[in-house]
Amino acid sequence: MTPSLVDAEDGADFDAPFNIAGFWLWPVGSAPAVRTELGLELDPGGVFGSGLHPTTQLCLERLLELPPAACILDVGTGTGILALAALQLGVERAVLLDLDPRALEVAALNAARNGLSERVEIEPDGLRAVARRFPRVVANMPSAELIEIAPALIRVLGSGADLVLSGIYEAQLEEVRGVYRNLGLRTGLESTRAGWHCLEFWPSW
């Protein structure tokens, strides 16, 4: 059976600092004892994105490996964790969007908490309102959503862009991979944890 990604993680268990490949995440007021340049203080605020879920971790690990880019689009930002981490890793600017207005409020507060507000733009009108192309796009959401938004996601990819997708459980892996390949993308690196997969794609144009 495919586990549900929706409501899978609301930050309730996020009560102590931890790190993902050296990138620290900690709840408000619980900074790690070790001094770290790379990390985020997060208030999950009841939305997805504390870093505890494997799908978030897989995306973050891939973002840690990629070279800095001028801008990232974070589709389904939740707490803002992936976009804010990318900014700390050297990406200059981030555009965040989410269907859930509460997530946008939480993400904006987390940006401010980490001194990143000036490099963040919140897009309240969703993917259809995005008119420009990006060198890096990340989307962690259920497979059905990734399939539904595939044409819109491809429309915002610049030439040579990285598209990092997660939220894909193993039973849906072939289908999601096939949809994006059929739309003209080449497959990049893939990683997996606890049955969840993260796929990277590059445009062939």
Ligand X SMILES: C[S@@+](CC[C@H](N)C(=O)[O-])C[C@H]1O[C@@H](n2cnc3c(N)ncnc32)[C@H](O)[C@@H]1O
> Is 145 an interacting residue with respect to ligand X (CB under 6 A)?
yes
By three-state DSSP, how is residue 72 classified? strand
- Interface with ligand X (CB under 6 A), residue from 62, 94, 167, 180: 167
> Is 89 an interacting residue with respect to ligand X (CB under 6 A)?
no
Using CB under 6 A, which of the segments 74-82, 115-123, 174-182, 187-195 binds ligand X?
74-82
Give the Cα separation of 120 and 192 in Å (integer): 29
> Is 141 an interacting residue with respect to ligand X (CB under 6 A)?
yes
> Is 72 an interacting residue with respect to ligand X (CB under 6 A)?
no
Minimum CB–partner distance for residue 188 and ligand X (Å): 18
Phi-psi region of 176 (alpha: psi -120 to 50; beta: other; left: phi over 0): alpha
Specify the DSSP element, H or E, that contains 85: helix 81-88
By three-state DSSP, how is residue 88 classified? helix
Q: Which residues bind ligand X (CB under 6 A)?
A: 5, 47-49, 56, 59, 75-78, 81-82, 97-100, 103, 126-127, 140-141, 145, 149, 167
